[in-house]
Amino acid sequence: MQHIGDIVKKVLKEVTTYTSLAKESGISRPTLGKYLKMADMPFDIVIKIGNIIRYDFTNDISEIKSYAIKNKLKIYVDEDKHFMAKYSKECYNILVEYDALKEFTSLLCKKHKVRI
């Protein structure tokens, strides 16, 4: 059997820090560390992490897709962001800032009743 925690750790090293992920996911840093040491890391946590970092773990862990379907969990994949996030922390950080800026712009436009 695959060591799921090791698979997730390998991807995370390329994308973000554990501390940053812990803050964004609402999982404490110590708990996140415990999960990442687990060979049988819960799939719902893997999916949650994948959705946050925009990484599709179904290519790495074949059982995740059927688990997500069975439990009606959404696996987020945006191909452009997935590709860039997979290869560079810098790209990932830029995409996070871009998403935040888009959200801020949208809220600002709504407040001032401006259409884009």
Span 9-33, pLDDT tens digits: 999 988 888 998 998 899 999 999 9
Q: How confident is the model at residue 113 (pLDDT cuts 50, 70, 90)?
A: confident
Note whether residue 61 is domain-resident: yes
Contact between residue 12 and residue 48 where contact means Cβ atoms under 8 Å apart: no
pLDDT digits (tens, 9 = 90+) for 47-104: 999 988 888 888 889 898 888 889 888 886 655 555 555 556 677 778 788 888 988 9
Contact between residue 91 and residue 18 where contact means Cβ atoms under 8 Å apart: no
Residue 107 tokens read as 């809220």
The count of C-alpha atoms lying within 13 angstroms of the C-alpha of 100, restricted to the half-sphere facing its C-beta, is 7
Note whether residue 84 is domain-resident: yes
- Mean pLDDT over 26-49 rounds to 95
Contact between residue 68 and residue 51 where contact means Cβ atoms under 8 Å apart: no
Note whether residue 116 is domain-resident: no
Note whether residue 107 is domain-resident: yes
Q: What domain range includes position 13?
A: 4-111
pTM above 0.75, yes or no: no
Domain count, the chain: 1
pLDDT at 116 over 80: no
Note whether residue 54 is domain-resident: yes
